[in-house]
Every structure is written in structure tokens, then in C-alpha cells.
Copies of this chain bind each other. A is one copy, B any other.
């Protein structure tokens, strides 16, 4: 199949494409209500989009009391590839142009195996999705990596947990391999975009999205746009100090948040608790699996294990302390917590909320929801699809 080559020629067309992406099929009249264009102008722009093949007619819409309108939708054969490279696993998904996930694969893999090995796996997963008939090719791909990215070039910079990736031309290389446009971003930013597009953060302009996986990061959304900072490292809150005399961190400092609470730290603490006999529940799980993860702690807590609950509470306090500072500084309209430890659920949320509501001033916390992400592992891939669609659905 011939893939999408056309791009919107002007801001109006880009606007219309995004409306169709976010709102699904729409009648011409409905589109007219959402943009301030004269009927004639709208008709012209829609016709041009139809010519390019980016959108197609899709039957008649329901009547709104008069003549029925023709429905318009994004071309149903458009396909985006969303790739979320985590520290220990890879998520790959295909979406249509409306960013609905049509197929989703996960594969455990250590990012430290390096870009070549990882992308080999990514391409093989993408091929598998293609082979299953979900796509005949991709019109664009978004890639998330677990570290800072020089965004315009799509190149990781000085990523602490990804040795071997520094300066690797991810965008360039994958664009070659896949034969379509590619955009690269930090995985946390993509999660933020995902939750904004299809999750809890719809209709919020300024918000924070804290992702707790192997490490800890924070997506910052300002006015509906991801804020990346001067060098692309904004949101790197894992190394904020929470305890001046705290634990040694891999970064060389002491008392970093990440050293005290993260997927990795939690697993280590849980194993310690198990070995020291403080938690029979965790000890049993350690016995069974040979190692523990955040999921084990979640399960133990759900079973009422006191040590596990303590770990979560303590971690939540630490995290809450940092989030409280960020809330004071940033005054977001929403805080989303997601990532691998979402399983810790409401126990975690409770301690975070306690800290934030206690420490931050009422004006900032007054109407501030602090919630768990609702998309889980699909947030990243949806965000990735959204990233590339934002790029493709922008003028020239």
C-alpha cells in the first residue's frame, strides 16, 4: 500500500486534522462549529484534504433537524507506530490516525544492551504487528526512550541509565529503517501526552505527570504542550535530594529521591525486608521467584503485609515531599502518578496526598486532584503516536 505522503498545507488544515484525530469522525457542519471559518472556506479546505487522501467521506451524519450532513473522518488506513523503550522492556503498538491502539506487544529487554540490539527487537515487533494484518506499513512513528533527548534532532544526550545510547541518532536511524517520519522523546513526556490525549488529563492545561518505573521522572505540560527545558532534561526529578544524610545514589550524590523510592529501590528494600525476616509474605515470594519487584510489594500489601505497607508508606512520604515542592513551584491543575508502581495504588496515593496537602499552601492545593494514571502501559505508546501525529498534522 502507498503510505501517506501528504501533509496539511496550512494551519486550517492542520487544525481540522487534529479535530478529527481527537474527536473522531465529524460532520462538516460540526467541524464548522469548532473553527471560525466561513462555510465556503471550510468547504474548500475539506475538499483539499479529501483530495490529498488524508481524510475520507464516511457516510451521512445524523440529522440535527434539517438536511443530513456528510461525515468526514481521517483515512482509516493510516497507521502510526508507538514505541516505548523502558529500562527493562519494550512496548510497541500500532494505532490508527485517531490514536486508537489496534495492537500492542510487550517484550522484556534491558535497554543497556544498546541501541542496535534494541532497535533490532523493535523492528521485529513492528514486523510482527504488520504481519498480523494490523498495518501494511507505517505513516509515522513515535519513540520514547528512558532518558533525556535533544528533541529537535531526536538524539539521546548523556542518558545515565542508557550507556551506549549517548548521541545515537535514533530518529535518523529509525526513519531509515521504517521508511517513515520519526520523532523521539523522553518516555515520561510521552506518558504525559498519552494521559492527556486519552487518559485522566484531558482538558487540563497545566499538569504534572510523575512516572515511577525503574527510575523516577516527571512530565511537565504547560498550556497543553510538553515543556522540555533548555537541554531536554526538564522533569528529571529522580535526583532531587530528599534526605541530606540519605542513601548513596548511582549519580554520586546522597539522598536522591530515586535512591529512596523507585521501582529499583523498592525491590531492593523488599528483598532486604524478606531476608531480615520482617515480612513472611515477601520472604515467600522471594523464595518462589528468586527476586522481588514492585509488583510483589503491591501484592504483599494487598494481602495485608505490614512490612510491605510500611515500604509503600515511607516511599509515598518521600515522593509526596518532592511533589509538594513541585506543586508549590509549578501550581499545576492536576498531578498524575503512573508507571510500573501504579500497582501500589491507593496506598501510595494516600501518603502522597497527605504530604502534599500538608506541605503546600491551600491556594495551590485547593482544587488539585492527585490521581493515578488510567492508561497503564498504553499511555506511553499512545503518547508516542500522538507525538508523531502532532508532527505530521502541522503545517508544511
Which A residues have a C-beta under 8 Å from some C-beta of B?
148, 157-158, 160, 205-206, 218, 220, 222, 227-237, 239-241, 251, 253, 321-322, 324-326, 328-333, 358-364, 366-367
User: Given contacts A326-B329, A329-B326, A329-B329, is CB(A360)–CB(B230) below 8 Å?
Assistant: no
* 9 CB-based A-B contacts, threshold 8 Å: A206-B229, A229-B331, A232-B331, A234-B329, A236-B364, A239-B328, A240-B329, A251-B361, A329-B330
Q: Which 3 A-B pairs have the closest CB atoms?
A: A229-B331, A230-B333, A234-B331
New A-B contacts (14) at CB < 8 Å, excluding given A229-B332, A232-B363, A239-B328? A148-B363, A220-B329, A220-B330, A229-B330, A230-B333, A231-B363, A233-B331, A233-B364, A235-B331, A236-B363, A240-B324, A240-B328, A253-B358, A326-B329
A114 to B277, CA, bound (A): 62
The distance in angstroms between the C-alpha atoms of A292 and B5, with both chains bound, is 71
Contacts of A158 in B (CB 8 A): 362-363
- For residue A147, which residue of chain B has the nearest CB? B363
Q: Is the CB of B358 within 8 A of A234?
A: no
Interface pair B328/A237, CB less than 8 Å apart: yes
Query: Given B231, B236, B251, B332, which contacts A366 in the complex, CB threshold below 8 Å?
Result: B231
By beta carbon, the residue of chain B nearest A243 is: B244
A229 CA / B364 CA spacing, docked (Å): 9
Judge whether B363 and A233 touch: CB under 8 Å.
yes
Residues of chain B with a CB closer than 8 A to A366's CB? 231
When distances are taken between beta carbons in the complex, the residues of chain B under 8 Å from A362 are 158
Contact among B218, B235, B239, B333 for A360, CB-based, below 8 A: B239
Chain B residues closer than 8 Å to A329, beta-carbon distance: 218, 220, 234-237, 240, 326, 329-330
Residues of B within 8 A of A358 (CB): 253
Q: Which residues does chain B contribute within 8 Å of A330, judged by CB atoms?
A: 220, 229, 234, 329
Determine how close the nearest CB of chain B comes to the CB of A375; give it in whole angstroms: 22
Q: How far is the CB of A266 from chain B (nearest CB, A)?
A: 21
Question: Across the two chains, which residue of chain B brings its CB closest to A366?
Answer: B231
**Contacting residues, chain B, for A333 (C-beta < 8 A):** 230
Q: Determine the distance from Cα of A333 to Cα of B326 in the docked complex, in whole angstroms.
A: 19
Q: Which residue of B lies closest to A157 (CB)?
A: B363
State in angstroms the CA–CA spacing of A376 and B331 once bound together. 27
Chain B's closest residue to A333 (CB) is: B230
B contact residues around A205 at 8 Å (CB): 230
Chain B CB within 10 Å, residue with most, of A333, A359, A366: A359
Decide if B148 touches A321 in the complex (CB within 8 Å): no
* Chain B residues whose CB sits within 8 angstroms of the CB of A324 once the complex forms: 240-241
Structural contact, B331 and A231, CB atoms closer than 8 A: yes
A364 neighbours in B (Cβ, 8 Å): 229, 231, 233, 236
Chain B contacts of A240 at CB under 8 A?
A: 324-325, 328-329
Q: How far is the CA of A361 from the CA of B328 in the complex (A)?
A: 22
List chain B residues, Cβ under 8 A from A220.
329-330
With A and B bound together, what is the CA distance between A362 and B159 in angstroms?
11
B361 and A233 within 8 A (CB): yes
| Residue of A230, A236, A239, A326 with most partner-chain B CB within 10 A | A230
In the assembly, what is the distance between CA of A367 and CA of B230, in Å?
Answer: 10
A227, B331: Cα distance in complex, Å: 10
Which residue on chain B has the smallest CB distance to residue A159?
B363
Q: Which one, B227, B321, B361, B367, contacts A222 given CB within 8 A?
A: B227
Chain B residues positioned under 8 Å from A234 (CB to CB): 329-331
**How far, in angstroms, from A132 to B148 measured CA to CA in the complex?**
56
Cβ contacts under 8 Å, A222 to chain B: 222, 227
Least CB distance from A244 to B in Å reads: 8
